[in-house]
């Protein structure tokens, strides 16, 4: 067997449920923590970002309109598929982050558990973020959380899988669609995650994965008029400032970068980050002597 030719994997983007190369045709070399070459990854251009936004917008109607229960089932399915490819992800995370096998395995397990956590949350967000409000008038007043829309996510630079899952899962659990820019130095687990999503009943376009230089791809996404929110988790302070300025143009919702321990209990903060509250006033009519108007 020693003279068998190596079969290298061509890492590709994940856009609209398909696996295209970068529109620009460019790639860059990805190395492990010691500088050893691992693979070439696509170096996305702003046109890839544009195409990804179009795909995410197209998917938004179906995904946000799906029942929360259905979204939960699909996210749980992602966890199942990820579990089946655990070994591959352990190897990729170990290479990417320079971890021992056991530490990498802990990261992957935590990432799988995080999908399950957010899968469970899909049909419970409305109970904690919405509700009926007491108002001083003859109205039923109901608030319900609705997804913000297309969310651009800059994945954390250091935590290549757990950090990535921790930022995209809450966004899509809430019914948003996502364009995610992977960790610049360690994009391979994210690109492989695209393959998992493609086989998990997640409709094409709900998650779109772009690898490349974060600053290059993030700039057009932050300025894009059809992106509704941006999560700056993977941006350094200087880049985050520039992106927030660009994002102000169409009043994008911006989640600023903050130090996060990805291994800790995620809480509901990121679930709530990309929701809009719709409040409905419904007249009850006069409930006086004439009785109910119903």
Partner 1 sequence: MPTVPANGNEAAERLASMAAVTASDGALRRFLHGLPGVDPVGLEARAAALGTRSIKTTAKAYAIDLAISMIDLTTLEGADTPGKVRALSAKALNPDPTDRETPRTAAVCVYPDMVATAAEAVRGSDVKVASVATAFPAGRAALPVKLADTADAVAAGAHEIDMVIDRGAFLAGRYLSVFEEIKAVKEACRRPDGSAARLKVIFETGELSTYDNIRRASWLGMLAGADFIKTSTGKVAVNATPANTLLMLEAVRDFRDATGVQVGVKPAGGIRTTKDAMKFLVLVNETVGEEWLTNEWFRFGASSLLNDLLMQRQKLSTGRYSGPDYVTVD
Residues near partner 1 (CB under 8 A) are 50, 53, 57, 220, 223-227, 249
Which residues lie closer than 8 Å to 190 by C-beta, 6 or more apart? 155, 160, 161, 164, 180, 182, 183, 209, 211
Query: Least distance to partner 1 from the beta carbon of 249, Å?
Result: 7
Between 225 and 258, whose beta carbon lies closer to partner 1? Answer: 225
Between 87 and 226, whose beta carbon lies closer to partner 1? Answer: 226
- Give me the helices (H) in the chain, please: 46-65, 68-84, 86-97, 101-121, 125-129, 162-173, 188-198, 214-223, 237-247, 269-273
| Degrees to nearest 5, angle at CA 210 with 60 and 236 | 105
Between 16 and 156, whose beta carbon lies closer to partner 1? Answer: 16
Q: Which helix (H) or strand (E) holds 253?
A: strand 253-255
Query: Least distance to partner 1 from the beta carbon of 225, Å?
Result: 5
In angstroms, what CA-CA distances link 175 with 60, 67, 273? 8, 9, 12
Between 45 and 159, whose beta carbon lies closer to partner 1? Answer: 45
Between 197 and 246, whose beta carbon lies closer to partner 1? Answer: 246
Between 156 and 220, whose beta carbon lies closer to partner 1? Answer: 220
Query: Least distance to partner 1 from the beta carbon of 159, Å?
Result: 29
Query: Least distance to partner 1 from the beta carbon of 273, Å?
Result: 21
Burial class (CB in 10 A: 0-12, 13-18, 19+), 78: buried
Query: Least distance to partner 1 from the beta carbon of 163, Å?
Result: 27
DSSP for 143-167, please give it: EEEEE-SEEEEE--SS-TTHHHHHH
Query: Least distance to partner 1 from the beta carbon of 291, Å?
Result: 41
Distance in angstroms (rounded) separating the CA atoms of residues 208 and 192: 12
């Amino acid at each position: 067997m020693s003279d068998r030719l190596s079969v290298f994997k061509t890492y590709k983007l994940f856009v609209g449920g398909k696996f295209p190369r970068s529109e620009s045709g460019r790639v860059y070399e990805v190395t492990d923590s010691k500088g050893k070459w691992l693979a070439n990854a696509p170096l996305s251009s702003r046109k890839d970002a544009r195409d990804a936004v179009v795909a995410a917008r197209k998917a938004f109607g179906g995904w946000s309109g799906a029942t929360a229960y259905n979204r939960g089932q699909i996210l749980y399915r992602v966890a199942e598929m990820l579990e089946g490819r655990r070994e591959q992800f352990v190897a990729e995370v170990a290479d990417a982050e320079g971890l021992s096998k056991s530490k990498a395995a802990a990261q992957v397990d935590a990432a799988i558990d995080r999908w399950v956590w957010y899968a469970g949350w899909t049909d419970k967000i409305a109970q904690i973020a919405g509700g009926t409000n007491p108002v001083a008038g003859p109205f039923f007043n109901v608030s319900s959380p609705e997804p913000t829309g297309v969310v651009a996510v800059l994945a954390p630079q250091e935590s290549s899988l757990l950090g990535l899952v921790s930022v995209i899962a809450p966004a899509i659990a809430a019914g948003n669609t996502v364009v995610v820019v992977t960790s610049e130095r360690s994009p391979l687990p994210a690109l492989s995650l695209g393959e998992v999503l493609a086989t998990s009943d997640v409709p094409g376009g709900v998650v779109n994965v772009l690898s490349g230089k974060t600053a290059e791809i993030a700039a057009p996404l932050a300025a894009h008029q059809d992106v509704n929110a941006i999560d700056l988790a993977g941006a350094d302070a200087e880049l985050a400032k520039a992106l927030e300025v660009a994002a102000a143009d169409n009043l994008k919702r911006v989640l600023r970068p903050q130090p996060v321990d990805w291994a800790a209990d995620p809480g509901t903060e990121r679930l709530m980050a990309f929701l809009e509250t719709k409040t409905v006033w419904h007249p009850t009519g006069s409930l006086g002597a004439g009785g109910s108007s119903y």
